[in-house]
Structure 1
Amino acid sequence: MKIIKSFKVVLLFFITIVIQAQTPAVIVKGEINNSYIVTGVETLTATQSITLKPNTWIKQGSVFTAKINPDAYIVPVFSNENYIFTRKFQTEMISTDGIVNNKDVIESIEYFNGLGKVMQNIGIKISPSKYDIVTHVEYDNLGRQDKEYLSYPETTGTIASYRTDAKGKTNSYFISNYSTDINSAAPNPFSQELFENSSLNRVVQKGAPGKDWTLGSGHEIKTDYSVNMASDNVRFYNVSAVWNENLGLYDIALGNNAGTSFYPAGQLYKTIVKDENWTPAAGNYYTTEEFKDKQGKLILKKIYGTSVVNGNNQGVSHETYYVYDIYGNLTYVITPKADGDVNSNVLNDLCYQYKYDDRNRLVEKKLPGKGWEYIVYDKLDRPVLTQDANLKVLNKWNFIKYDDFNRPVYTGEYFNNVNTTRLGVQGLVNDNAVLSEIKQTTVLNINGTDINYSNYAFPKTGIDLLTINYYDDYLNMDLDGGISAVSYGKTPVTNAKGFTTCEKIRTLGTTNWVTTVNYYDAKGRIIYVYSKDNYLTALNTIKTQFDFGGSVLETTSTQKKGSDSVITVVDVYSYDHVGRLLDHKQTINNQTQEVIASNTYDNLGKLITKKVGGGITNNRLQNIDYSYNIRGWLKNINDVNTIGSDLFAFSINYNDIAARSTSLYNGNISKTSWRTANVDNGIKDYVYVYDELNRLAYAIGDQNDQQEIPTYDKNGNIITMYRTDMKPKATSTSKKVMQTIDDLIYTYDGGNRLLKVEDNSNNPEGFFNGVNIIAEYTYDANGNMKTDANKQITNVEYNFLNLPTKIITASGTIEYVYNALGVKQRKIVSGITTDYIRGFQYENNRLQFFSQPEGYVYKNNGVFEYIYQYKDHLGNVRLSYNSSLSIIEENNYYPFGLKQLGYNNIVNSTGNATAQKYKYNGKELQDELGINMYDYGARNYDPTLGRWMNIDPLAEKSRRFNPYTYALNNPVYFIDPDGMMAAPPSTHTDEDGNVIAVIDDGDMGVYKHQNNADGNAPTQSMIENRQHKLGTSAGGEKMGESLTPFGFADFETYAATGILKPGAGARIDFNSTWATDEVSKIFAENPTLPRYAYNARTGKDWDVKNHTPNDNWYYGSNLFGSYASARDAGNFAAGAIAQLSLLPTSFSDYGFGTYNASGNSVWGSIKMLVKDLLLVSNPTTRGTGASSMFIKANYGENPLSSAGIEAGKNFGKILQK
């Protein structure tokens, strides 16, 4: 609820008026001449104390009650300023009279000046101590917000009131609490932007909070704007796009002299960004140069740094070129290692290539080191079949079928050995009249699988189903026993319109299915999940209890495998008054309740202490303390200098001057130190040095040991790797001696594929140099490693997800079984069968362990025992201990993940050996048969080589790195996420609807996330990491689906660079139907297409995107059941009106496109239409230059707009029915 106040006070909705006193806080219902008179029944409530003033009278027969309630709600008193007051109710009530305690409501207020600019933001009583959290806002003389202040907790004054001294108190708070980061003489608890002296208001410098990052410190982010000079030598690549009737696409080809000529001076916009480590002495190092053409398309990204070229490590430029056809489509990405050379071998080995059809759809693409991939679309431009190089050999395709709402209903494999070309299959799709499937009451059997869907859309024969999705209700489907169940007193709804109700996923290579049924409450929250795995004979259920605001209060999970007894796990959560997690308690079966964690926060909501482990009646096992710098970067886990009763301590240094390390300012870690209570309990440390591209250059331990020194080529391939460790003592009195364990030299083919590795150290530790032959590693057509002669791997077989199903070595075979989504279900090796069931792991049908948030649980003599773990900032398991505080194991790692040896390697037998395989990044080490790779879910990683053994499924998101690179070659800072198949992104928001992540994962769901334990919203990287454990939802509450794939993404950046990020200011108002209302107003006018086109021009009444409640194109709301941005809503309206008009939709599409391309000029679009119709009459002449921009697929519209228009046309078709 929002209350808006102007100069004339108008309060909306309900208001309770009280008189508030401060310190002691007291609520008084009547006050006359400083006396308090009770004449009937009165209750006096205060949060701190009650003082009855002189002349207080309580008349005979009256009832007077005085209460001290620290959580009592006090109605805020607002200052006489313009404001917007917002309430988010946490407890169900019918009026504001129901607000009793602080937990009932979360309140905030924004104060505005007379020009409508925000002066101050206040989170009312939202600090853990129930203080206001205040954010000061100020502007420069031109009205620009050049400083963005950090928030501070206000401990005095009237709650919710405007604080006139907020700036000074902000300074004081950070001087007091971050004294090492702040210069008290010139405090800067704010980020600050310096603008160029022009009307463009472009930012030329940006400083961050803290004295080391303030403007003038030399550690700002600096940006220079200019145009290209001839000396920049920006290569010009000309591309022809000629229609090929036989292939059904535009054949692309670089011109004969492509890349040999250069752009003339002044033809490109040039931007230079210098990061916080840049100094004038560095010259071009630590800079990124971008060159864009006049349409804003990225042409060249140039980064300067040191790489191995022709055998020498030298300073060079790393240039990534983006090449477009005459229609503006990205056709080539030329990676740095290509060095501008574009012969056919270089294109195949080092470049990205893309081809399009006459509807501007991407139909063929090739990634470096991987064969061609093919995409077939239906008439609604939905991808319905895909094929990679391995599937092509088998004449197989992956298919997907949709319902009328563009939701995937079932997927599978399609076999066709007659029409084997993409064009042939595209023709079959085009000839099929029906595009979507419908749910039906009768059961249809497709190749042995029963479904309750039709089979009208292509393909109809030769198909094998892999996944099935049901929506909206629970009728007419096989739930495999998953009937509705009451969850915490709530009966699930039977009408779940818009939600996935049942999902069936096949176990690959079998006829078994995993059936998952989701049941919802009236708010669309999942309250009961039933999951049955017929292959592993496992049954899981989860019941969830939510509070009114959506926080999980309790879950009851059950796990049953085969004839085993049911394991019941009850998790109970408690929160503070604004939803920060305080306690997590867990009960397994009937055992004593365990306290998993109890959290304490500072006054800004950062987690500062986590008390872990122990029975409910016992003391906590460990108190883990956290501290941060002024930028919120983690600095300490406990104190390495005073370890006390802590078993582990860890510190991170960035910019502080420390022994042996160099101060870094861009977030790279310069040094880590740690200490344990193990046998060798001295302080250990690692110093890190990076090259100019932020790649790890070397790491060295505190005794100049444990060194790891890589070098790289221009694509980030590791060229050499040098490692050392300390030899074990020969005797108890002798000294340790450093030894070289790896002196590796890598050899590649013409691209990024590793051919061989030789170790000049002759030391069997680290990398095992098994052979010395020309090709020690070989690959299949998808770039997956097939053989590894050093590990005696003679063959690796893969499924269509590029996951290994069988690894054959000289000493045995490892077999893997997955479901159709790539989730590993079983591993078989050396007589041991390991089953993986939703976090529970079995060996030969005997439970080994299951995970809990702070470690794992295993069964010991019939009793479930808890093992707790310390993890570092990367999620690496560093130390495990039991309830007796006995250290089970300790792990320390080289940066790229190889475990260090030589100290603290004792493993306590009371742990679980299977659980202890989870180490680096918390991933499982596949150590059977000497494989020694970590399983990340989508790929396998070799820590001795620092490389993946498969191409990154998301390689196109970071094209300047080779697709085998681990963690962008900065494993101290990054965690490489699990790869997923490139597809439309899911959208993720914080609890207030602000879009915080868009992730390329094939799920168009919109998910809302609660804040982290520190009170801050999760970041995109956090969401990506959570996805690996929790699926595409990342643990968020699914609110629905997005209307278009990129409605809330910065599509222009994505189109140019392949990088997905939220659009600026993107926010979804989940309770709003603004988009539906706006579009419905247009429909109500029943406009003709010309009338609509005229009134939808920029700034006109029907230009939906320019009339949003917050003046942002990325404002999201509900649009007929989907969430749409304002831009989507406008395009949706255009498509629907076009569909409902009497004109062919191709005509309206053509008009929309030319209107858009002409800069929204009616006369300009008419001229383009006439020109195109006269000059270009058939597809064979496209690309000749006669009309190079406007007769093309989407008719000049960008793909984002086209997606919204197509959605609108589909809606129009429904209305026509």
Structure 2
Amino acid sequence: MSINKIHITLITMLAVPPCSVLAQTPSQNYVRTVTMLDAYGTDSIQAVQYYNGLGRPTLSVATAGGNGETACTLTTYDGAGREKRRYLPVPASGLDYIPVSGVTSMGLFYLDDGFFTESHYDALDRVTAVDIAGDTWRQAGKQDRTEHLANTASDQVLHFEAPEDGSYSLTLPENTAFEYYPEGTLAKAVSYDADNRSTAVFTDLLGRKIMERTAAGDTYYVYNDLGQLRFVLTPAFNKISQEKTIYAYEYRYDNRGRVVWKKLPGAECVQYWYDSADRMAYMRDTALGNRYRFCLYDRFGRLCVQGTCSDGNRDGSVLSATSYTSGSGGVCSTGYSAPYSISDPQLEIVNYYDTYEFIGNNLTSAMPALTIGQEQRQHAIGYLTGQVVYATGGEALGTVTVYDRKGQAVRTVRKGLGGHIEDVSTEYTFTGAVDSTEVRVGVGYGGDFTAKTGYTYRYGKKTKMSLSVSHGGTAQSRDTEYSYDAIGRLSTKGRQTIRNSKSYCSYTYDVHGWLKSVSSGGFREDLYYADGLDSACHNGNISTVRWKARNDSEYKGYNLRYDGCNRLYLALFGTGDNLTGNRNYFNEQAEYDCNGNIKRLRRCGLQDAMHGGFGLVDDLRMTYEGNQLASVFDNVWRLPYAGATDFDGVAGQEYPLTYNDAGSLTSDASRRIARIDYDCLNNPVRIQFTDGNVTKYVYSATGEKLRVVYQTAVPNITVAIGSARELMPSEILFTDSTDYLLGGALTLRNGRIDKYQFDEGYCQATQYNATQDNFTFLYYDKDHLGNVRQVTKASNSTGTVVQTMNYYPFGAQFCDGSAATSDFQQYKYNGKELDKMHGLNTYDYGARQYNPVTARWDRIDPLAEKYYSVSPYVYCLNNPIRLIDPDGRKIFLVGTHDEQMRTLGYMQKLTNDNLLLNRKTGEVTIGGRRWDNRDKKLDVGTSLLRDVIGHKRTTGIQIGSESDRNRYHSYFPKDASNGKGTDGYINLNPSSSLDLKVQDSNTEKTVVETIPMEIVVGHELIHAYSAMNGNAPKDGEESSYIYRDVDGKLYETQEETSELETVGIIGNEKYTENKLRKEHGLNKRVVY
């Protein structure tokens, strides 16, 4: 993990890759890049890459800071030409060359002379160890290591089989030809992190992963005779019970190798049917019951209609396409024809492309009234112009998107639930960054709610954000200013409180770029790694965390302990600078089974609110049916005071839980949940409580929460577990509702504006009169995980603290009575909304809801196959101090909606498929074929995007600052090359002008040309694909190659193997940049 952090630091400093321009320092080889950031050339960023006499890159100098400061990094080599040391970025004075001694003496910037990593190699030039940067790490001899071995008899790798005989059976080892794999028949790669925690991966001669071994247990991968993965056996399969239905993943295939049947542990099977082009035409899971989900595609393969039906043609031979005719009836009045019979169709999603003819002609009740000009219509060709998504209950929600000539979304108008119109307009800078947005929402009373946001940039860095909000009255506005340190890291934020006054947030980092402290609005947090107050963590885990709110007299904090799987098992509380006071007051301790399910969870807290006694407040014993929590038993009595956050049960009593066939929670006796009902997309639609209270939800077919309605029942109603009861009007004491608009940014409470969320906090509405609202700005003071620790009201020069919160590591608020006064607002742990109504007490993460008291999800992870060895109900790999649990996405785009759409546009140019973006989650999915690429044969790009989007692992894509470098980063670098695979993210800099050397296809001479941004995106996606599969070259590994330069001469040099393979200069990979270039008619790249 530490190496990953180093890479993040590098990309925030470096600008773009080099191009040939004029000399910077006459005595050195170099390439200089100047990127203009406005049309007048008054703002630019620059970078110079220097090379040694053998053409190896050595010194990189680039614009980094928000005031134009420059910074540099240095790479040195050993006698064999292999990368030896890589120095972290340090400030530089201008762009001139700095000798090695000048860089190595700059450790003062970090107050650490060991600000470099150092690689070690074996005889085959494979990286075997990397010394981690930092004097503390180097003096302790801390490295990331990898051993390449063969299996031995003592490894005892079991031999399972999955015969291809039609029985779909699993043959246990004792019934196969040999129980264990013979010695020397498997390759064994053992990776050790800096704290010597290991992962061993065993692969066969075909390169297939057979087993993965960690401290928790062994995960087995079983293949059929065709080499298809048939079973994945979790550690509990061999340690607890060899019951496939609860501890194994199973896959079945048709004769074309397509998955047609899949079963996750604890859930019933999912079935798939395909058309002759291998597109999913139908699917059915237990949530659909006896119905099927169907998909209709147009002649370009784009998804046009998705819905459910009672029956249809599933023989796999159909390739007929749907077609759109404006004003026609078609399938459910969409205008789309039915290429074959579909029985009893019910719509979920309808997509329109290329034109705006659907406005006023099809599904008219769903669409907002909008007039589109002729020029705007021309810009629409090839883009998703309209979409209708159906909500729980059948209400249709229409969206229209308008584009400019660059394909940038300049206006999006949506008709939301209840007819609310959401109108978002966006303007862009010269480089395509968002310059301003204007949001207008019809809220149902008075005029429109309006929010205007403007951005200011300097040297590619965002330096100011201005927000103004209004609803019928005088607009209220506040500014936030951003500043950066000399190497480009965010150092301070100044948030306007009142006129001419600001409250400042500051950030500090260690030598790796890991966050060391956050100071915000009087709240301060300090993080410790190898320098922990109680113990040391060298692998990136946090050993100590301490914090102090503005109104605290002393620090609070935890010393943290981890097991061999990096799972948090003990958090020891203390107060004071060294956390030696009030020890154990708020401890949290967990015990795990081999799949990561918590078997026992203990917490300490305030036992007696009157007399102040502290001790054990939760001692939970949890039993399981597979990975599903079957019952909870608490040895400690329920706390009697208001605001207690402990387990709500009677000591000594067992509280059962039940689940449906989809693996989703349906009842929980401890929280008095009698029954939970779900829609066919596995979203909760109704929660019945045993006291008669009811919570109802409205979701869209894309999974967006649109409304919550709370019905509070009169006293003395009892509902049995497993039952539901519709309340009579006379039985409803009162009803509350919350509507979520703009993807949740704007909320209405009982029909009036409540909050408008923005990056730094929210605007709280207060009623001025029947048709107008006033707004008050409040800022979130967050810790390193995004947990809201303080809310500060912008009411005076420093702000007034109106809410303070403390959390146990797994997210429950401290058992000290403070929760009784912390209900000022409900966005808390990880910045997620806490729903306490009727005693639900869960955080809403979008895809699932999280119970912090039991540290469990309510549903199976939508991407449970990302981490086979871990229970799909486990939160954050049981390391909640270091990690934030993802929402379960494969490719997801980070940033504003406009930045997301811009990135999507680059990806779209690579593929014949149509890519769809979930605006709320940022998830990218495939929606059939693309019209505007119909004349292009983009087989490589199409396949690449399908493989990455369809992968079990996740890749995020974000647009960074304009001084950032385009680069892919893996979250767990060791796993990127040890066969395990890892998630990661891509940082893009669309404003950069990337020049490189290619071979002219006519003259075969080497020339310089600019690389299109879509090829840059493709290049980084290839890196991502390799890392996701775990077969990327090791970090720091280099290879030699010969190239012909622009002078016509041949040169030999070395570069990172991963880059050379990704470009296609060496190797024969499935995907390369040069393969993408070939199908785009571009010249072959010959130099990296």
Classify the secondary structure of the residue corresponding to 1:349. helix
Q: Which residue of 1 aligns with 2:120?
A: 194
Which of the residues 527, 530, 543 maps onto 1:670? 543
Q: Which residue of 1 aligns with 2:269?
A: 372
Residue 879 of structure 1 and its aligned partner are, at CA, apart by 0.8
Q: Distance in 1 between matches of 2:873 and 2:372?
A: 46
Q: Which residue of 2 aligns with 1:269?
A: 187
Residue 823 of structure 1 and its aligned partner are, at CA, apart by 0.8
Q: Which residue of 2 aligns with 1:1137?
A: none
RMSD of Structure 2 on Structure 1 (CA)? 4.2
Which of the residues 138, 143, 148 maps onto 2:86? 148
Alpha-carbon spacing, 1:1125–1:891, altered in 2? closer, same or farther (3 Å): closer
Q: Distance in 1 between matches of 2:518 and 2:1019?
A: 41
Q: Which residue of 2 aligns with 1:824?
A: 705
Which stretch has the larger CA shift, 942-951 or 234-243? 234-243
Q: Which residue of 1 aligns with 2:559?
A: 687
1:212 aligns with 2:92: no
1:525 aligns with 2:398: no
Aligned amino acid, residue 455 of structure 1? A
1:626 aligns with 2:507: yes
Q: Distance in 1 between matches of 2:370 and 2:672?
A: 50
Which aligned pairs between 1:293-692 and structure 2 lie closer than 5 A? 293-304=204-215, 318-339=217-238, 343=242, 346-391=243-288, 394-416=289-311, 426-427=314-315, 429-430=316-317, 432-434=318-320, 436-447=321-332, 450-456=333-339, 460-478=342-360, 480-483=367-370, 492=376, 494-510=378-394, 512-533=395-416, 535-588=417-470, 591=474, 594-615=477-498, 617-620=499-502, 622-638=503-519, 646-658=521-533, 661-678=534-551, 680-692=552-564
Residue 113 of structure 1 and its aligned partner are, at CA, apart by 3.3
Aligned amino acid, residue 121 of structure 1? S
Alpha-carbon spacing, 1:576–1:1005, altered in 2? closer, same or farther (3 Å): closer
Q: 1:956-1005: per-residue Cα shift (whole Å, max 9, x none)? A: 0011110100111111111112235xxx74578999x9x9x99xxxx998
Alpha-carbon spacing, 1:496–1:204, altered in 2? closer, same or farther (3 Å): same
- The two structures have a TM-score, normalised by structure 2, of 0.77
Alpha-carbon spacing, 1:1065–1:323, altered in 2? closer, same or farther (3 Å): farther
Q: Distance in 2 between matches of 1:88 and 1:582?
A: 21
Q: Distance in 2 between matches of 1:803 and 1:861?
A: 33
Alpha-carbon spacing, 1:927–1:1077, altered in 2? closer, same or farther (3 Å): farther
Which of the residues 716, 728, 741 maps onto 1:837? 741
Q: Distance in 2 between matches of 1:960 and 1:377?
A: 30
Q: Distance in 1 between matches of 2:201 and 2:661?
A: 33
Q: How many residues align?
A: 921
Alpha-carbon spacing, 1:190–1:1044, altered in 2? closer, same or farther (3 Å): same
Residue 868 of structure 1 and its aligned partner are, at CA, apart by 1.4
Alpha-carbon spacing, 1:728–1:162, altered in 2? closer, same or farther (3 Å): same
Alpha-carbon spacing, 1:797–1:209, altered in 2? closer, same or farther (3 Å): same
Residue 801 of structure 1 and its aligned partner are, at CA, apart by 2.0
Residue 1065 of structure 1 and its aligned partner are, at CA, apart by 12
The percentage of aligned residue pairs carrying the same residue is: 28
Residue 562 of structure 1 and its aligned partner are, at CA, apart by 2.0
Aligned amino acid, residue 891 of structure 1? M
Greater RCO, 1 or 2 (C-alpha within 8 Å, sep 6+): 2
Residue 613 of structure 1 and its aligned partner are, at CA, apart by 2.7
Which of the residues 1014, 1031, 1038 maps onto 2:922? 1031
Q: 1:995-1032: per-residue Cα shift (whole Å, max 9, x none)? A: 9x99xxxx998399xxxxxxxxxxxxxxxxx9895533
Classify the secondary structure of the residue corresponding to 1:665. coil
Aligned amino acid, residue 88 of structure 2? L
Q: Distance in 1 between matches of 2:788 and 2:522?
A: 13
Residue 411 of structure 1 and its aligned partner are, at CA, apart by 0.9
Conserved 8 A contact 2:376-2:404: yes
Q: Which residue of 1 aligns with 2:572?
A: 700
Residue 397 of structure 1 and its aligned partner are, at CA, apart by 1.6
Conserved 8 A contact 1:958-1:1058: no
Residue 728 of structure 1 and its aligned partner are, at CA, apart by 4.8
Aligned amino acid, residue 500 of structure 1? L
Residue 927 of structure 1 and its aligned partner are, at CA, apart by 1.1
Which aligned pairs between 1:131-146 and structure 2 lie closer than 5 A? 131-146=69-84
Conserved 8 A contact 1:771-1:790: no
Residue 426 of structure 1 and its aligned partner are, at CA, apart by 3.4
Q: Distance in 1 between matches of 2:997 and 2:134?
A: 42
- Structure 1 unmatched ranges of 5 or more: 16-75, 93-97, 245-249, 279-285, 305-316, 420-424, 640-645, 1009-1025, 1082-1100, 1102-1106, 1130-1196, 1209-1217
Q: Which residue of 1 aligns with 2:877?
A: 968
Classify the secondary structure of the residue corresponding to 1:380. coil
Which of the residues 203, 208, 211 maps onto 2:127? 203
1:170 aligns with 2:103: yes
Conserved 8 A contact 1:716-1:965: yes
Residue 828 of structure 1 and its aligned partner are, at CA, apart by 1.2
Conserved 8 A contact 1:1049-1:1062: no
1:847 aligns with 2:847: no
Aligned amino acid, residue 955 of structure 1? A
Q: 1:341-374: per-residue Cα shift (whole Å, max 9, x none)? A: 884xx11110111111110111111111011111
Alpha-carbon spacing, 1:949–1:887, altered in 2? closer, same or farther (3 Å): same
Q: Distance in 2 between matches of 1:5 and 1:465?
A: 52
Q: 1:907-953: per-residue Cα shift (whole Å, max 9, x none)? A: 48xxxx5x712211111212111111111111111111011111111
Which of the residues 860, 867, 870 maps onto 2:781? 870
Q: Which is higher, the Rg of structure 1 or of structure 2?
A: 1
Which stretch has the larger CA shift, 850-859 or 362-371? 850-859
Q: Distance in 2 between matches of 1:268 and 1:989?
A: 44
1:713 aligns with 2:593: yes
Conserved 8 A contact 1:599-1:610: yes
Q: Distance in 2 between matches of 1:297 and 1:665?
A: 32
Q: 1:203-228: per-residue Cα shift (whole Å, max 9, x none)? A: 111122211233x6322111111111
Q: Which residue of 1 aligns with 2:848?
A: 939
Which aligned pairs between 1:17-28 and structure 2 lie closer than 5 A? none
Classify the secondary structure of the residue corresponding to 1:929. helix
Q: Which residue of 2 aligns with 1:1014?
A: none
Q: Distance in 2 between matches of 1:723 and 1:350?
A: 29
Q: Which residue of 1 aligns with 2:163?
A: 240
Q: Distance in 2 between matches of 1:455 and 1:1052?
A: 31
Q: Distance in 2 between matches of 1:412 and 1:798?
A: 17
Q: Which residue of 2 aligns with 1:1097?
A: none
Conserved 8 A contact 1:955-1:963: yes
Alpha-carbon spacing, 1:891–1:524, altered in 2? closer, same or farther (3 Å): same
Which aligned pairs between 1:1-150 and structure 2 lie closer than 5 A? 77-92=24-39, 99=41, 101=42, 103=43, 105-123=44-62, 125-150=63-88
Alpha-carbon spacing, 1:975–1:1052, altered in 2? closer, same or farther (3 Å): closer
Alpha-carbon spacing, 1:720–1:503, altered in 2? closer, same or farther (3 Å): same
Conserved 8 A contact 2:443-2:753: no
Conserved 8 A contact 1:88-1:107: yes
Alpha-carbon spacing, 1:668–1:613, altered in 2? closer, same or farther (3 Å): same
Alpha-carbon spacing, 1:1110–1:337, altered in 2? closer, same or farther (3 Å): farther
Q: Distance in 2 between matches of 1:706 and 1:168?
A: 50
Residue 241 of structure 1 and its aligned partner are, at CA, apart by 1.3
Alpha-carbon spacing, 1:339–1:141, altered in 2? closer, same or farther (3 Å): same
Q: Which residue of 2 aligns with 1:50?
A: none
Conserved 8 A contact 1:236-1:258: yes
Q: Distance in 1 between matches of 2:789 and 2:1021?
A: 48
Alpha-carbon spacing, 1:403–1:1044, altered in 2? closer, same or farther (3 Å): farther
